Amino acid sequence: MHSVDDILGASAAWVWFPRGSDQQNSELQLVRHPARFGGGVKASQVASALDAAAVIDHAIERTRAWGETNLTFWTSASDHPDIEQELQRRGAVHTDTVAVLARPIDGAPIEVPPGVTAEVVRTLEQVREVDAVNVPVWEQQPLSEQGLQEELAEVTAALESGEGFRVLSRLNGVAVSTGGCTVADGFLRLWGAATLPSARGRGAYRAVLAERLRVGAELGATTALVKGRVSTSAPILARAGFAHYGDEHSYVLELD
């Protein structure tokens, strides 16, 4: 198990670059998301000698230059300077809170009820089933046939290199839940968990979690790290042995 400082550092350094995104890292990390994920710009990892107002102005300028109007800031205790108060002053809307959670991978086993299975994604049909779960849960556009092929290539390359993988869970044989993970510096970063509303509370999410921990251990990871929504997955993760190491907050600015 990593130290508290290592866990907080790994959480602060964690950022997602979707396939087809644009990014800039100057004063803070900015990522422009593709249209199929709803577009917009995500901002995080503030590391600047500028004051909070100037950092936010910089992010707004870059967002407008990309032709986007939705700018989401994810704030954490590692930001320098702290921009949260300035965001609130400008009327940014607080939209979400995630808990930073971690546990040793070889901790207590996670119980999965009968009738629930989980498998590592390796085929085009599995990628198609993953997309069928993600589209309604994340309210995103479905992948085209080319997009499905690109997703399979990405998933396969990550699995073959040992850098990560995706898991699909079934309830009585029907695909209902999925989640991905990335292995980095001994951490198993858990991300993208989604379960169809009709299947929630029946163990599918736990099956996805258990399988990711099992395979992550095989790939040499020792600590599982996840950012769980306080209103949804965080309570389940706490019951699965994850300890709470702090929170991160999202604020949205809609630009004219």
Q: DSSP secondary structure string, the chain?
A: ---HHHHHHHHHH-----TT-EEEEESEEEEEPPGGGT--EEEE--B-SS-HHHHHHHHHHHHHHTT--EEEEEE-TT-BS--HHHHHHTTPEEEEEEEEEEEETTSSPPP--TTEEEEE--SHHHHHHHHHHHHHHHT-PPPPHHHHHHHHHHHHHHHHHTSEEEEEEEETTEEEEEEEEEEETTEEEEEEEEE-GGGTTSSHHHHHHHHHHHHHHHTT--EEEEEEETTTHHHHHHHTTPEEEEEEEEEEEE--
Give percent of the chain above pLDDT 70. 100
Q: What is the CA radius of gyration of the chain?
A: 18
Asked if omega into 81 is within 30° of 0 (cis), the reply is: yes
Mean pLDDT confidence for 32-37: 92
When pLDDT is cut at 50, 70 and 90, the band that residue 234 belongs to is: confident
Looking at residue 45, its pLDDT comes to: 95
Looking at residue 211, its pLDDT comes to: 97
Q: Which single residue is written with the structure tokens 């990014």? A: 23
Looking at residue 12, its pLDDT comes to: 87
Please, which residues bridge with residue 181 across strands? Answer: 165, 190
Give percent of the chain above pLDDT 90. 90
Looking at residue 1, its pLDDT comes to: 72
Looking at residue 4, its pLDDT comes to: 92
Listed residue (20, 59, 23) closest to 36, CA to CA: 20
Looking at residue 82, its amino acid is D
Topology of the domain covering 106-221: Aminopeptidase (3.40.630)
Looking at residue 108, its pLDDT comes to: 87
Looking at residue 182, its pLDDT comes to: 97
State yes or no: pLDDT of 256 exceeds 90.
Answer: no
Looking at residue 229, its pLDDT comes to: 86
State yes or no: pLDDT of 231 exceeds 80.
Answer: no
CATH code, residues 4-99+248-254: 3.40.630
List the chain domain ranges. 4-99+248-254, 106-221
Mean pLDDT confidence for 34-48: 94
